[in-house]
Amino acid sequence: MKEKEIEKIDEVIQHLVYEKISLKKAYNYYHCQRDADQFRHIEDNYGVGTPTSLGFTPLIKKHIDVLVGEYLGFEQDLSISCKDEKTISNILRDKKLKIDYELYEYLRKQLHNIVIGLISGDLNSLDPKIEQELQNIKQNIEKSFISEYEVAAQNILAYFKQSRDLDLRNKMRSLFTDLLITGCCYYRTKPSPSGGNVKFEVLNPLDTFVERNRNEDYLNKSRRAVVRK
């Protein structure tokens, strides 16, 4: 079984891993290192002229560093949205229970008026004011309802922003710098070894190879990936 796993891993590495020459050149430009081969025909003496040397003016690094600084200067207003079917179903159920409870509480308070209506023989309708108030209660809950799932997730997100162990600010700096230099950035999240926290890992674009699923917008829906370390 172990041999088959190793064989499968070797196959994936063989299919996906390649030298990202263009990305290496982009990082070299950012770190003020010019491609020596690009201008070798000017610097070398081929017997027809005088050899010279070319300087490097670091224009790209300054622009990228300014953009990263501006980005980190914004207070990130991160919010949670639940999209999986199970959670949405639970949220809708909780909302319905909340509406039913609020309607019950209101009708309980208005019980005296309803009893009078029943005694008078009006069994088919409620007082128009009560009916309107019931509609208002429903609409207000529909607009303002926040599920316990979203509250808990938002609290976790606030913790992530402030956690020193997670170091989200510097991780975002690295991700945005990679994005500006290469046009791509990679990260992955997974439970910490203790199981009580989350590990947020920034991956180097030079050492990350993803077989992207063409039918999905997100890389975590890809079938295969290799991270070289």
The confidence score (pLDDT) of residue 54 equals 66
| Beta carbons of 192 and 199 less than 8 angstroms apart | yes
In three-state form (DSSP H/G/I as H, E/B as E, the rest C), the secondary structure along 60-112 is: HHHHHHHHHHHHHHCCCCCCCCCCCHHHHHHHHHHHHHHHHHHHHHHHHHCHH
Whole-angstrom distance, CA of residue 3 vs CA of residue 10: 11
Does residue 107 form part of some domain?
yes
Domain boundary among 114, 146, 178: 146
Does residue 181 form part of some domain?
yes
Q: What is the pLDDT of residues 27-67, one digit of tens each?
A: 988 888 877 777 676 666 665 666 666 667 778 888 999 99
* Structural domains of the chain, count: 2
pTM of the entire predicted model: 0.63
Within 13 A of 185's CA, how many CA atoms are on the CB side? 14
What is the amino acid identity at position 202?
Answer: V
> Which residues are 224's β-sheet partners?
211
The confidence score (pLDDT) of residue 15 equals 93
Checking if the pLDDT of 113 tops 80, the result is no
**111 and 66 in one domain?**
no
Per mean pLDDT, which of 87-96, 121-130, 145-154, 176-185 is the most reliable? 176-185
The confidence score (pLDDT) of residue 199 equals 87
**103 and 207 in one domain?**
no
Whole-angstrom distance, CA of residue 176 vs CA of residue 169: 11
The confidence score (pLDDT) of residue 156 equals 78
Pair of tokens at residue 148: 């316990």
The confidence score (pLDDT) of residue 209 equals 95
Q: What pLDDT band is residue 96 in, cutting at 50, 70 and 90? A: confident
Does residue 179 form part of some domain?
yes
At residue 226, what are phi and psi to the nearest 5 degrees?
-130, 130
- Which percentage of the chain shows pLDDT scores above 90? 24
Domain coverage including residue 94: 85-146
Does residue 89 form part of some domain?
yes
Does residue 65 form part of some domain?
yes
